[in-house]
Amino acid sequence: MKKRNKLSYLATAALVILSAALLLTGCSSAGNTDILDDEHVQAVKNAIPDSYPNTTYGEAFNSFFGSPTWRYFVGTQNGPDENEDGKPDYTRDNVDVVEFKGKCSYAGVDNVTACVQFELDMEAGTFEPVYLSMNDIPQNNLMLTGLMEKVFSEAPGTSGTQEEPKEQEEQSSPQTQSSDKPSSANITSAEIVGMYTDYADGYMYKLNVYGNFSTWTASITYTAGGENSSLTYTSGEVSSNPYFTSGSSITGITATITPYDENGKAGQAYTTVWDVNRVEKLEGEPNNTDTGYMYGEISTMGGNIVGYSTSYVCNNGAPETVRTNLGDGWHVMSCNSHNSYGITWYELYDSDDGDYYGWVDGNYIIWY
């Protein structure tokens, strides 16, 4: 549990230690501006965490970040983004807040603006960090905790004293697990491709990733209609739907991809930006084709294979699923095919017991 920091020169705090898998790099700068540099800002800046008794918050943050600014205000305090929809999960009004902003490098992208909000409890005389955003995109509490550890562990002349709790270690994702052996996963190149169609919303977008890896995850941000949105996309989703979003009003897309080896250890992240001129034409939406009876088996290729509804595949409806997690080697038969979204789909039935599987991407079927 977090300890709240006393609002005094003797203030202390306990930070949860995580592996530094946030791919954060500081951008220290001599420039320093305190906005409304009153007692509230000074109290936070002069606080000292238990884990790093030789470093104040002000020293650590001003050393790690470029162009650091601090300010105090009474107003809206944002909550974290635990559901990863690109928006704070909640907001609270009339809160005493000290807000820090500074520049850093994050996931291979330079000049990212980090914003950390500290909530003050004026009656108890304590404070705690409660909110983190990167380029105005809110992050979850795990990211905030990892950032705090990163900032203090790299402050000049500091050394941590707190051991990592076992519970936190067990809950860590592959990104936060440490090992003496470097990850074998790497990405050699990646590209975002826009696909133009004569139907639906006009444009769909897919991500092609190349390299040596077992799986990968991508953090994608895009601008549509002047508003920024974000989503998470994985290699497992490519097998069921190669297009991570659609829309004719999208003007910019950035994807940061993290590869993982067979042991689940993360490799170096790779960032790619959509070239607005990179648009390919998809063929139109033809009628179904009677293929005659064809027999074969499912080949999952290590992914999650999904059977979609006729409404989605043939009539541009919502992406409804008929069956999920179709198994590798399952025996199937088909007598209909259909081309849409740049894919040749086959309407499948189980050739052993007749179960209906819906429409499946033909790339994951081995025909006899």
Q: What does the pLDDT read at residue 15?
A: 34
Mean model confidence pLDDT for the chain: 75
Task: Provide the 3-class DSSP secondary structure of residue 323.
Answer: strand
Q: Which two tokens stand for residue 118?
A: 């500290």
Q: What does the pLDDT read at residue 118?
A: 92
Angle between helices 141-153 and 57-64 (to 10 degrees): 90
Residue 164 has pLDDT above 70, yes or no: no
Q: Which two tokens stand for residue 147?
A: 């950032």
Residue 168 has pLDDT above 70, yes or no: no
Kindly tell me the burial class for residue 251, based on how many C-beta atoms sit within 10 Å of its own C-beta (0-12, 13-18, 19 or more): exposed
Residues 6+ apart with CB under 8 A from 201: 246, 247, 248
CATH of domain 289-367: 2.30.30
Kind plus residue range of the DSSP H or E element containing 43? helix 39-45
Between CA 258 and CA 107 the distance in angstroms is 9
Closest listed residue to residue 125, CA positions, set 43, 45, 203, 194: 43
Angle subtended at Cα 314 by Cα 207 and Cα 296, rounded to the nearest 5 degrees: 80
Q: What does the pLDDT read at residue 223?
A: 85
User: What residue ranges do the domains of the chain occupy?
Assistant: 5-173, 186-281, 289-367
Architecture of the CATH domain 186-281: Sandwich (2.60)
335 near 290, Cβ under 8 Å? yes
Residue 298 has pLDDT above 90, yes or no: yes
Q: What does the pLDDT read at residue 166?
A: 39
Between CA 253 and CA 219 the distance in angstroms is 11
What's the pLDDT tens digit per position in 43-97?
889 888 888 888 899 999 999 998 889 998 888 888 888 877 778 888 888 889 9
347 near 334, Cβ under 8 Å? yes
Confidence (pTM): 0.40
Closest listed residue to residue 338, CA positions, set 317, 297, 357, 310: 310
Mean pLDDT to the nearest integer, 324-349:
86
Type of residue found at 22 = L
Between CA 33 and CA 366 the distance in angstroms is 64
pLDDT cut 70: percent of the chain above it:
74
Task: Provide the 3-class DSSP secondary structure of residue 44.
Answer: helix
Residue 285 has pLDDT above 50, yes or no: no
Beta-bridge partner residues of 71: 35, 99
State the pairing for strand pair 356-361/321-326.
unpaired
Beta-bridge partner residues of 297: 331, 366
Between CA 205 and CA 254 the distance in angstroms is 12
